[in-house]
Amino acid sequence: MGAGVLALALLVVALDRLFPPDLRRWQERSTLVTDEGGEVLRAFITADGAWRLPMSATEANPTYLAMLLAYEDHRFYHHPGVDPLALARAAGQALRHGRIVSGGSTLTMQVARLLEPRPRTVASKLLEMARALQLEARYSKSDILGMYLTLAPFGGNLEGARAASLAYFGRPPAALTPGQAALLVTLPQSPTKRRPDLAPAAARAGRDALLRRMAAKGVLSRQAAREGMSEPLPTDRRPLPFLAPHLADRLRRAAPPGSVIASTLDAGLQRRVEATVRGTQDTLEPAAEVAVLVMEIGSRKVRAYVGGSFSGPFGQVDMAAAPRSPGSALKPFLYGLGFEALPLHPETRINDVPTVFGDYAPRNFDGGFHGLVTVREALQQSLNVPAVKVLDRLGPARFLGRLREVGAQVVLPRPDAAPGLPLALGGLGLSLADLTNLYADLGDGGQARPLLLTPSEAPGPKRPAKRLMGAVAAWYVAEILSGTPRPDGRAAVGGRWVAYKTGTSYGFRDAWAVGFTSTHVVGVWVGRPDGTPRPGAAGRDMAAPLLFRLVDLLPDWGTPPEPPPGVLEAGPGHALPPALALFDRGTPGGSLAAAAAPLRIAFPPDGAEVERTPGRDGAPVPVPLEALGGRPPLHWLGNGLPLPDSASGEGADWIPDGIGFADIAVIDAAGQRAKATVRVR
């Protein structure tokens, strides 16, 4: 007798090992990407075309679970997978009515059927019972309940309570009302005949019958049941969440199929950002795209991520991760490193005059030059010559090395060539994500940290700290950028402090704006992914207005940062040390402007009329330009354009480009500027 029992037990174990439950349908689940709080951002359909969204018992509404167990298997926690009492009841009902009234299946047996669908025969029922015993031996009750909540059919290609809750009610399963929960309890019994969008009468009848039954059993109060029956049914099936699709794609590719991937995003903020971006996107030509990143400075968690429209000819390209030329948006870091390594201060004066660096002659965006300006003015006005002068002194390799040292993935136009002075004006490739994180470094007192797209990426406590620049240099840059006029021309109101910078790449291919408060940083890129120029589309006009609309969405603006120890005050009553007064090499700090005589234009004087006289060959005769005072060499401009310097470095010849009024300007080596407006006849 004992030997027979042992042999039977060994046979059962052997069969269990040889023929384990087939879990492939449960394992082939939809990949989910969620925000940090678990809200679904995007789901991916399975290879067999199902929305089979993974779900655990802990994610379900308690009322839904209570009704499910009371309706389907009220002894779920007390049987080993097969309930003899339920089977006996089902057999008795079949004998009395001459037909099958209930199948006697437990939830575990239903899971077995969902895992391995078969025709409903006696043999199939026996196999389901065996599989149910196997499942109970291998998995906890909570695991089995999670399998049901993932695999149960809810009509069409919806599988699982999470998919049904999102598709029919637009809410997570934890937030179901009693009426909604009751509908989802009854739907798997007849997922086609009770679909609320296709058969509302049958769906309502099934729901209401269940609510009355639950009230009679005491699972629900009668009041809750009445309220549930008065709830409207969903009339259509909603699309599943589709937030941050570019980031979701990126995270899905890096994870095993069927994963639930938590991101650092905030779904509520993501919705508001996407809605705001659509308002701008709708005003652009079809091939143009907008990318946005919103990040917390302290944690470096990315809270909103827009890679593009995800439609149109280039919408699926993730422009938040694509390297593009940042234009002048790179200048703050150049000046910041200059504050750290060079005799440079926000009030240091620097000459914005025509300057040639070997074969490189930078010009300003407006085509003119502004003479002696402070570094503050140079950065706020985004002047090019001063920036190149600082980079020339700092060294392009040093500048590039620091960016790479803190993690920026910089792409050079020619990887085999040494970096050059065009870096100052954005002559490299940098993604919006990297650029935004560099601005977060500025807002973090120069402290460099990696940006986080998932909570699991958070660095450990032993990670060595890196710095983009020192705290004083970072504060100087932030303080300068906070004074940059806003695109609407109004100053900051309500005590809201924002530091920002715009950028425009060569040929108007990329328009940028990046700004930060004391708590968040926002980066904006506008352009065409194929690099086609968009004439006139500058960062200040295309990206900055959107930047400030996005900043208005931030949950916390914080307060302006306090100056760190070591900040050198300058201004009325606080003169700079001589070494910091004037940047241009070869000049004693601040002495040139004081020593030079006042500069003025001698000919033609302001208000004069000049003749546009043709010469013998028909070409116009040049007008000789003369100045008094100043310190040579002198640089002349006609209508904002540089004129060839004379051999003496004092006068110049000017050929008017037409009749009418014209502006003539001259700038000396000390930065003095004189101007005359003449009329050409």
User: Which has the closest alpha carbon to 580: 370, 349, 408?
Assistant: 349
Active site residue 72: yes
| Residue extents of the structural domains in the chain | 51-230, 596-680
Residue 168 is predicted with a pLDDT of 98
User: Which has the closest alpha carbon to 339: 576, 542, 508, 669?
Assistant: 576
Quick check: do 51-230 and 596-680 share a fold?
A: no
Residue 1 is predicted with a pLDDT of 52
Residue 14 is predicted with a pLDDT of 60
Q: Is the peptide bond before 604 cis (omega within 30 degrees of 0)?
A: yes
In this structure, the dihedral spanned by the alpha carbons of residues 577, 580, 584 and 585, taken in order and rounded to 10 degrees, is 70
Residue 72 CA to residue 158 CA, distance in Å, equals 20
**CA atoms within 13 A of residue 100's CA, in its CB half-sphere:** 8
Residue 460 is predicted with a pLDDT of 57
Catalytic residue, chosen from 28, 36, 72, 626, is 72
Q: Which residues contact 610 (CB under 8 A, 6 or more apart)?
A: 604, 623, 656, 678, 679, 680, 681
Q: Are 160 and 55 in contact (CB under 8 A)?
A: yes
Within 10 Å of residue 60's Cβ, how many Cβ atoms?
24
pTM: 0.82
Residue 394 is predicted with a pLDDT of 94
Catalytic residue, chosen from 328, 382, 431, 518, is 328
Within 10 Å of residue 616's Cβ, how many Cβ atoms?
6
- The backbone torsions φ and ψ at residue 33, rounded to the nearest 5 degrees and listed phi first, read -115, 125
Does the 596-680 domain belong in CATH 3.40.50.10490?
Answer: no
- The backbone torsions φ and ψ at residue 429, rounded to the nearest 5 degrees and listed phi first, read -105, 135
Q: Which two tokens stand for residue 651?
A: 């006068």
Residue 639 CA to residue 661 CA, distance in Å, equals 9
The secondary structure of residue 262, as a DSSP letter, is E
Active site residue 136: no
Residue 183 is predicted with a pLDDT of 98
Architecture of domain 51-230: Orthogonal Bundle (1.10)
Query: Which residue type is seen at 155?
Result: G
**Which ranges constitute the DSSP H helices of 460-596?**
471-481, 539-542, 544-551, 578-581, 591-595
Residue 476 is predicted with a pLDDT of 97
Residue 590 is predicted with a pLDDT of 34
Mean pLDDT by groups of 10 residues along the chain of 681 residues: 51 64 93 97 96 96 97 93 74 54 79 91 86 94 97 97 98 97 97 95 97 96 97 96 98 95 98 96 91 98 97 89 97 97 95 89 88 96 97 95 96 88 95 98 97 83 76 97 84 72 95 97 97 93 96 87 90 77 60 58 83 71 83 82 73 84 84 85 80
Residue 6 is predicted with a pLDDT of 53
Q: Which two tokens stand for residue 636?
A: 């002349």
